[in-house]
Chains A and B, each alone.
Chain A
Amino acid sequence: MDAVKKYSGRLFTLEVLGIIIALLFLIPFYFVIVNSLKTFPELAANTAKLPKSLYLDSYVKVWTIMKFPSAFLNSLIITVVSNVGLVVISSLAAYRMVRKPSKFNNLVFLAFVAAMVIPFQSIMIPLVRVAGQIGLMDSKLGLIICYFGFGVSLNVFLYHGFIKSIPLEIEESATVDGSSPYGVFWRIIFPLLKPMSTTVVILNSLWIWNDYLLPSLVLNSPELRTIPLATFSFFGQYTKQWDLALAGLTLGVLPIVIFFLAMQKHIVEGITAGSVKG
């Protein structure tokens, strides 16, 4: 009895500790959201207080100045199309490399794995030149193609590890039934890859949605801006006008936080699965 009491006492202390740390983690969000709902004088007077009344004007202004709907749509299109493309080309390539480990395929796989060490900063300068010469600059499609190139190493690597664990017998019986290699891949293998595809999509989405540097180099036109680019240029213009800046930040953060809260379970599983093969 005494042992049980002591044990739950310890758990209770840990629980309280956890909640305190969690509140510390949340403080920045509190500050940003609360102050985005204040008028400027109210914000300047005290940033810690709750707002007297909900002041939504900043949001209305920011919505149009930042061209939020357009930025959101750009981010969405770029993230979705890059993901679809990456899932298809990476799973195709990884499947072939596992099932037909020719010298050439092994060499390509090795190159993909080795390339994961190359920091983006090391190739961004010539990349801008290459992208300019083959017409990838200042276009959403161009940026998406860049994501294909940068994402393919890690994605092929992840699929490669996963496909190795799929028994060959499954596809052999389909081949006997007369399916073409493409049919075998699409109807039998691709559906089996779903857990890894979820991981791949989640890792890619967090990366592409939040990316600033690559889009800032590739996209120039204001109407092509993604959320990070729009926030950056907005923040540059309205530096000391915190009421507007904070409303802009809240809008910028909102979509990915909602996505996270909705997809939490998959995100946590995806990250765990993706890191095991680091």
Chain B
Amino acid sequence: MKNNKGMAGLFQQWVFVGPALIFFTLIVLIPFLMSIYYSFTEWNGVTTTVKFNGLSNFKHILLNDEDYRNAFWFTTRLTVTNVILTNAVGFLLALLLTQALKTRNVLRTIFFMPNVIGGLLLGFIWQFIFVKGFATLGDLTHLAFFELPWLGDAPTAFWAIVIVSVWQGSGYLMIIYIAALSNVPKDMVEAAYIDGATRTQVLRNIIIPLIMPAVTVCLFLTISWSFKIFDLNFSLTKGGPFNSTESVSINIYQEAFRNNNYGLGTAKAFVFFIVVAIISTIQVMYTKRKEVEV
């Protein structure tokens, strides 16, 4: 009897957890473990011969691969800029939409809309805006801003990606910040005003500390979006001009699927994983400490 029940329990365990575990193992766990192994090999992805070559991939990445280093530097700059601007814009939009505006719902819809469209299509849309749309606006207004060679020059191409990322991401953060702002207890804010606090004081000393959990989430999201950027970057600039806007993801992709250096590509991807994991952990630990319990 007892044995029977144990069998039934085991069977249930597999019915409930089995499918999720099998797919996870097959698609995520095994490839992840393989990627650690392939990092130490020379492999072109086609032949079955995988040659073990120790640490030489990593040596190459750290010492000789200038493109990879540039890609990391570009991605880091992009992430810092995007995180600051997307959060600032998202938060300000949220502040705006938590006022008693008549057009609140329509505005919320509009600000969020870019986010439902995938990065690939957004990149193409903006390619048209930067190339043709800005040219027309330049002819009409003669503003220097519109007459810049947006996608044709390294510094402006960087800002082009920033503009599109902020336009895409701020609506999403706005939604999270709105939820957080509407959970701030009203009596607390009112009490502060009665005590003679100014708007900025209330914002800085009451509202911001209380919405730190939302800030954690938003920082986490924006870091992760920007650091792993691929689609938007791929369709807007394809890493150009002259590889100046090549993100780490694109660099890994090209190394593996265009140059057929699967071993080296995997090693690059592994270094990328380590960096992403470290950044995310530090960021969550740091912001969690600043959270206030109500």
Contact = CB atoms under 8 A, between A and B. Distances in A.
Interface string B104-128: 0011111111111111110011101
A212 B231 contact: yes
A19 B101 CA distance: 11
Nearest to A108: B21
B221 interface: yes
Contact of A48 (B15, B136, B176): B136
B28 A231 contact: no
A9 interface: no
Nearest to A229: B120
Interface in B169-192: 172, 175-176, 179
A202 B217 CA distance: 18
B133 A48 contact: yes
Given A122-B270, A130-B31, A231-B124, A268 B118 contact: no
Interface string B234-252: 1100000000000011001
B15 A182 contact: yes
A1 interface: no
A268 B116 CA distance: 11
B35 A249 contact: no
A152 B125 contact: no
Chain A interface size band reads 35 or more
A118 B17 contact: no
Given A96-B17, A111-B29, A156-B20, A121 B272 contact: yes
B17 A108 contact: yes
B118 A47 contact: no
Interface residues of B, number: 90
Contacts of A22: 103, 106-107, 110-111
Contacts of A206: 115-116
B120 A210 contact: yes
B128 A272 contact: no
Nearest to B32: A123
A240 to B, nearest CB: 9
Contacts of B249: 119, 121
Contacts of A28: 114, 125-126, 129, 133, 167
A241 to B, nearest CB: 12
Contacts of A271: 172, 175-176
Contacts of B113: 25, 29, 257, 260
A256 interface: yes
Interface stretch (A58-66, A86-94, A190-198): A86-94
B128 A89 contact: no
B269 A123 contact: yes
Interface string A124-144: 111111100010000000000
B28 A150 contact: yes
B230 interface: yes
Interface string A1-32: 00000000001001101110110011111011
A213 interface: yes
Interface stretch (B80-88, B148-156, B273-281): B273-281
A19 B96 CA distance: 11
Q: Most chain-B CB neighbours within 10 Å: which of A146, A212, A267? A: A212
Nearest to B178: A272
A54 B23 CA distance: 49
A24 to B, nearest CB: 9
B272 A122 contact: yes
Contact of A89 (B19, B30, B111): B19
Interface string A98-130: 001000010010011001011111111111111
Nearest to A88: B19
Interface string A73-100: 0000000000000001110110111001
B93 A21 contact: yes
Contacts of B248: 121
A117 B276 contact: yes
Given A117-B277, A121-B252, A130 B26 contact: yes
Contacts of A21: 93, 96, 107, 111
A46 interface: yes
A219 B3 CA distance: 47
B216 interface: yes
* 3 closest Cβ pairs, A-B complex: A149-B27, A210-B118, A96-B16
5 contacts: A14-B101, A96-B16, A117-B276, A121-B230, A228-B231
Interface of A: 11, 14-15, 17-19, 21-22, 25-29, 31-32, 35, 43, 46-48, 88-90, 92-93, 95-97, 100, 105, 108, 111-112, 115, 117-130, 134, 145-146, 148-150, 152-153, 156, 181-182, 185, 206, 209-213, 217, 228, 231-232, 235, 242, 245-246, 249, 252-253, 256-257, 259-261, 264, 267-268, 271-272, 275-276, 278
Given A125-B38, A209-B118, 5 more contacts: A11-B101, A123-B31, A125-B256, A210-B119, A252-B121
